[in-house]
Chains A and B, each alone.
Chain A
Amino acid sequence: DSGVTQTPKHLITATGQRVTLRCSPRSGDLSVYWYQQSLDQGLQFLIQYYNGEERAKGNILERFSAQQFPDLHSELNLSSLELGDSALYFCASSLQDSYEQYFGPGTRLTVT
């Protein structure tokens, strides 16, 4: 158990809908990272937040947004969902900017 929690574990929704994925980092970690893992694209970095501020951005679609709250938990919002958004979404956390990231168990999103 990495200490990072993600909810929900599974999510099934329809195209065009909007969903919110939640992540609670390890106690004391200030950085939260979001990743998308799909069969064709592999594990892709989406975005990093550090102590409430956006820190680094990857190939995150405009339909996707994230934020980190004062209690350091983070949410990833996915809107206007498409079939291609079906994937595993991982959250990771670290103390600061770090290679030493601890991954959560992931949320499996299925868009039908």
Chain B
Amino acid sequence: QKEVEQDPGPLSVPEGAIVSLNCTYSNSAFQYFMWYRQYSRKGPELLMYTYSSGNKEDGRFTAQVDKSSKYISLFIRDSQPSDSATYLCAMSDITGGFKTIFGAGTRLFVKA
């Protein structure tokens, strides 16, 4: 079993839809939870991060972490065609450096 599980999709939604992306994990030592966005043939870019449990909002994006269920989510409101990309969840255990484990990534297509 992988430490981080993420449905690779693809997920196709119409413009303006609310998108929900999720990951589950098994390592309770993870403390930092991130979401990265990766456009085709580019390096990943950090979208949001959360430390421990809770919610965080940034514009159209909301990240949620539920450590009791080992489940994290990213919601995208009013999705736009420019949001079409691969979204990777990532988690870090900072005991001894910053080792980050990534999910497989979910490919999202937002249709105009």
Residues of A that sit less than 8 Å from B by CB? 2, 4, 31, 33, 35, 42-45, 48, 50, 55-58, 90, 92, 94, 97-106
Contact = CB atoms under 8 A, between A and B. Distances in A.
Contacts of A104: 43
B44 A99 contact: no
Interchain residue pairs A-B with the least CB separation, the first 6 = A56-B97, A103-B43, A55-B97, A43-B102, A97-B98, A99-B32
B102 A56 contact: no
B98 A31 contact: yes
Nearest to A105: B43
A50 B97 contact: yes
18 contacts: A2-B43, A33-B100, A42-B103, A43-B102, A43-B105, A44-B102, A45-B99, A48-B97, A48-B99, A50-B97, A56-B98, A57-B99, A97-B94, A98-B98, A99-B34, A99-B98, A102-B46, A106-B42
Contacts of B98: 31, 33, 48, 55-56, 94, 97-99, 101
B104 interface: yes
Given A55-B98, A101-B46, 9 more contacts: A2-B43, A33-B98, A33-B100, A43-B105, A48-B97, A99-B32, A99-B49, A105-B42, A105-B43
Contact-residue size bin, chain B (C-beta under 8 Å from the other chain):
20 to 34
Given A55-B98, A97-B98, A43 B88 contact: yes
Interface string B9-49: 00000000000000000000000101000000011111001
A90 B43 CA distance: 7
B105 A42 contact: yes
A100 B50 CA distance: 11
B44 A42 contact: no
Interface in B64-112: 88, 92, 94, 96-105
